Structure 1
Amino acid sequence: MSIINNALSGSLAAQVALNATSQNVANVMTPGYTRQGALLASIKPANSGLSAGNGVAVSALTRFADSYKSQQMWRAASGLGQYNVAQPYLTQLEQVMGDETSGLNSGLDAFFSALNAASVDPTSSPLRQQVITTGEALAQRFNSLNQVLSNQRASVQQQRTAAVGQINTLSMDVAALNKQIAAARATGVNASGLIDERDLKIDSLADLVGVQVVDQNDGTRSVSLRSGQPLVVGALAATLGVASLANGSQVMSLSFARESFKLPGSGLGGQLGGLEELERGVLVPTMQSVTDMAGQMATAFNTQLTAGYAMNGSPGTPLFIFDASSVTGMLRVDPSVVGQDLGFSSDASLPGDSANLKMLIAVQQAPLTLASLGTVSLGDAATQLVGKLGMVSQQNQTSLKTAQTVRSQSEDSWASTSGVNQDEEAMNLVQYQQMYKSNMKVIAVANELFDATLSMLG
């Protein structure tokens, strides 16, 4: 009977819908889960005549997914990863360079204060020795800062190498899931769980590097870098590589199939982009400025010292030893120099003269040419370095807060379409339960009519 067939199709459809709803409720706390629903369609009458139809069918299980919102979320992940990865480095460097006990500012002030104190009595051995002592402390501050910068650059390069390894792993995972999804769709199997897993992999990938994602007709997704180089095409994944150069920098390349691409040094996005901007835009220029500052100060001071005369009337001895190739010993005080060797006098016959000492004090205002600042005085160089770093750190913090807000909003937008709403699912449970019970009631009524008909015929 058509009544029974209609009711049976309704009860089966209700079961499928209830199963989808139960799956949604079970995964209400599952990260990245996209809710599903049964798409119902009325079955038209097969024959002409007075027939309302042949029941209902579940035409498909639909995923409540919005590709645009997913793309928004992945773009937000790239921005957040870019600013988030740089901030710990900037904060540490800002604290080190601005600290009173380890910063260059206080070291320079102490050194030139010792020179000023010596000008009161240029023949005083303790005051001369104090100049050497504060010079050693200043050199140590330069070396310590250079060590911090060098360690940060090494850490950045290690983190870049680790990120590249993660990108390669995630790319292979996405390619493998593409293959499984295409196969599932070809055989009519619900691939929603596989698609959710793939989306989570792409989201993790977007945190590491900016990506572009394109949906294909077979259900696969092609993933490429912002600059166009492919990461994943169908079931094929590219391989990123990192190579170190003789100058201490790194270059990245991408290999796909039989092609190899050299990656650009900027615009990568994600953590790779943040690390690249941090190294090239902050660490390398700051390291060069600190090196230039130490070298030019040492040259200017030593030159002026050798223009004067020591206590015994001999020419002044250079105080500083500069070695740009050394990280921990870039600037040192010559251990053989003693206070009596300092050329404070401008006249070999007048050991108490302080004319050359005044010229040494004036070195504090001597112009320096630094990579990241241009031409500045020695006394202002450290202050401007700290100020510039603080400005970069503040800008990054502001961008990070904005990126966090954008990411949060994109997640909320995605959840409004794809996330499980417990209240909505509770209503669905009641509605589909009622649908199932109603169809079972129809079957019961149909059975009663059938039995009554048989009784009449009997």
Structure 2
Amino acid sequence: MMGILNTAITGLNAQKVALDVTAQNVANVATEGYTRQRVNFESLSPNARGVDVAGNGVKVTDIQRLADEFLIKQTWKTSSTQSYDFIEFQNYSKLEKVFGSDGLNLSEGFDKFYAALNEATIKPESTPLRQQVITEAESLGYQFNMLVDTVITQKKDLDEQISAAVSQSNTLIQQIAQLNKTISDNVSENVNVSELEDQRDQLVLELSELFNIKSTVLSNGSYQLTLANGQPLVIDDLPSTITVTGSNPTQLSLTIVNQNIPILDNTPQASGAPAQNQIGGSVGAMANFQSQVLEPYETVINQIARDFGTEINTRLQAGFDLNGNAGIPLFSPGLMDATNISINPNISVDSLAFSSNPGAVGDNGNINNIIAVSNLTFANLPQFQTLNNQSNADTFASLLGEVAIKTNQSKISLDTSEIQFNQAISARNNFSAVNRDEEAAKLIEFTNAYQANMKVISTVNQLFDEILKIF
């Protein structure tokens, strides 16, 4: 009789644990990142021998966390790719809007400037026509100023975003290391760590948005996290700290402080080509966009301004103004680029050297020489070979076309990576998330089993009572 009672009690206790776990699953049906748990049972062998001995009841062997390591890692991998593609698309879209806007489109500015010069060929001595040339030149210079300023501003914005992301990553790395220690300590004491592992996986998912993460599960339950190239971020309970150094994108570097390991160096290569990094995630995308897109584009815009302004000044100085004097620069002389190109403060309508003959006021010979600049080709863009051997206006038009193509390509990449990320999350959830119908069925199953064990105990009590009545 006592054997039956003990067997029923083990069943009662086991079903209670199963009900507790089921209740925990149901309670977290809407909890993001929660991994459902399952109770595993094992039959207890009988203490005595004999064909008439049924067994000694049941015990709970463990509470299993239903997680698949491969599916979890896929969510991290696709999260990193999606974050990278989002940053790239976001910044290309911003750049395309700037380059193509009415006020900053250099192609339109060049067209208006050369159109003003063409009108001036009809009547070179006309004050309104001369003033229009100066006005369009001033407007074009302002376009250069504003265009390169927006590129510089976008670089600075990315600097701030990288610093914020690195600060966030350091916080996540520390939290993961702390959870590693807590999990390791609890595992050694046979404490259920499922919720702690869920918390850690969510933190790693957040970290994977910033960097491309590789992970290894250690024997004590800890994660060892590294970047894609193997640089350590978390080893057991030891966190790394990442710092940002460098005053501009070409000098930007990220370093793991406590190991003094560089993980990013944007210093251009010896060939002059922009540096590349493989750290992935949003940080990798921002750093790459700075060094491989914005920095080279800024160089091109500065080069266009320098080539254009210098050539216009040179040709004007070869002509003569309305008073027969040698021409002066239209744009402020000196070291010129898109940041500082501006109208020479000494220029006036009379001092525009449109004539190729000092004694001929209505001569337009030098105007045609200046207009010819529009057809000159340049081959001094080592980072953009496809833009070489084009005029200044065509170079910018090609640059704008390239940005539009890159924007479209990055949108396609983002759409693809979003689908892959959502598929990875769905696959993980299908395996690990709480299924309402399944838990409802288990609730009925374990409740019935619990009640059945209670019935066995009640039956044993009745039998005891009947036996006692005999005496």
Q: Distance in 2 between matches of 1:132 and 1:105?
A: 17
Shift of 1:218: 0.4
Q: Deviations over 1:211-252 (max 9, x none)?
A: 101000101010001110100001100111111157863111
Q: Distance in 2 between matches of 1:219 and 1:433?
A: 33
TM-score (structure 2 length as normaliser)? 0.94
Shift of 1:322: 6.1
| Aligned-partner SS, 2:419 | helix
| Aligned-partner SS, 2:369 | helix
2:444 to 424, 430, 446: 430
- One-letter code aligned to 1:35: R
- One-letter code aligned to 1:121: K
Aligned residue runs from structure 1 range 203-352, under 5 A: 203-245=205-247, 249-256=251-258, 259-265=259-265, 266-321=277-332, 329-352=339-362
Given the alignment of the two structures, is residue 440 of structure 1 paired with residue 441 of structure 2, yes or no? no
Given the alignment of the two structures, is residue 14 of structure 1 paired with residue 15 of structure 2, yes or no? yes
- One-letter code aligned to 1:187: E
Equivalent in the alignment of 2:125: 123
Change (3 A) 1:13 1:48: same
Contact 1:80 1:407 in 2 (8 A): yes
Q: Distance in 1 between matches of 2:147 and 2:12?
A: 75
Shift of 1:346: 0.9
Aligned residue runs from structure 1 range 382-393, under 5 A: 382-393=396-407
Between Structure 1 and Structure 2, the one with more strand by share is 1
2:371 to 353, 356, 361: 361
Change (3 A) 1:157 1:226: same
Percent of matched pairs sharing the same residue: 35
Q: Distance in 1 between matches of 2:54 and 2:115?
A: 102
- One-letter code aligned to 1:430: I
Q: Distance in 2 between matches of 1:246 and 1:136?
A: 29
Contact 2:305 2:337 in 1 (8 A): no
Equivalent in the alignment of 1:84: 86
Shift of 1:376: 1.5
| Aligned-partner SS, 1:332 | coil
Contact 1:209 1:272 in 2 (8 A): yes
TM-score (structure 1 length as normaliser)? 0.96
Shift of 1:432: 0.5
Q: Distance in 2 between matches of 1:28 and 1:351?
A: 88
Change (3 A) 1:376 1:325: closer
- One-letter code aligned to 2:452: S
Cα-Cα RMSD = 1.5
| Aligned-partner SS, 1:73 | helix
Given the alignment of the two structures, is residue 98 of structure 1 paired with residue 100 of structure 2, yes or no? yes
Contact 1:305 1:343 in 2 (8 A): yes
Q: Deviations over 1:395-427 (max 9, x none)?
A: 111111111011000000000111011111111
- One-letter code aligned to 1:362: A
| Aligned-partner SS, 2:40 | strand
- One-letter code aligned to 2:255: S
2:465 to 430, 451, 458: 451
Given the alignment of the two structures, is residue 411 of structure 1 paired with residue 419 of structure 2, yes or no? no
Change (3 A) 1:282 1:237: same
Shift of 1:77: 0.9
Q: Deviations over 1:130-185 (max 9, x none)?
A: 00000000000000001000000011111111111111111110000000001111
Contact 1:323 1:330 in 2 (8 A): no
| Aligned-partner SS, 1:175 | helix
| Aligned-partner SS, 1:212 | strand
Q: Distance in 1 between matches of 2:224 and 2:284?
A: 21
Equivalent in the alignment of 1:398: 412
Contact 1:10 1:436 in 2 (8 A): yes
Q: Distance in 1 between matches of 2:35 and 2:10?
A: 27
Q: Distance in 1 between matches of 2:389 and 2:239?
A: 49
Shift of 1:325: 8.0
Contact 1:364 1:378 in 2 (8 A): yes
- Structure 1 range deviating more: 242-251 or 207-216: 242-251
| Aligned-partner SS, 1:376 | coil
2:75 to 70, 73, 76: 73
- One-letter code aligned to 1:278: F
Given the alignment of the two structures, is residue 47 of structure 1 paired with residue 48 of structure 2, yes or no? yes
Aligned residue runs from structure 1 range 106-117, under 5 A: 106-117=108-119
Contact 1:83 1:396 in 2 (8 A): yes
- Structure 1 range deviating more: 56-65 or 364-373: 364-373
Equivalent in the alignment of 1:155: 157
Q: Distance in 2 between matches of 1:420 and 1:395?
A: 38
- Structure 1 range deviating more: 140-149 or 276-285: 276-285
Change (3 A) 1:323 1:30: farther
Change (3 A) 1:148 1:269: same
Q: Distance in 2 between matches of 1:99 and 1:397?
A: 20
List gaps (5 residues or longer) in structure 1.
none
Shift of 1:260: 1.1
- One-letter code aligned to 1:176: Q
Change (3 A) 1:325 1:80: farther
Q: Distance in 1 between matches of 2:217 and 2:177?
A: 13
List gaps (5 residues or longer) in structure 2.
266-276
| Aligned-partner SS, 1:331 | coil
Contact 1:34 1:196 in 2 (8 A): yes
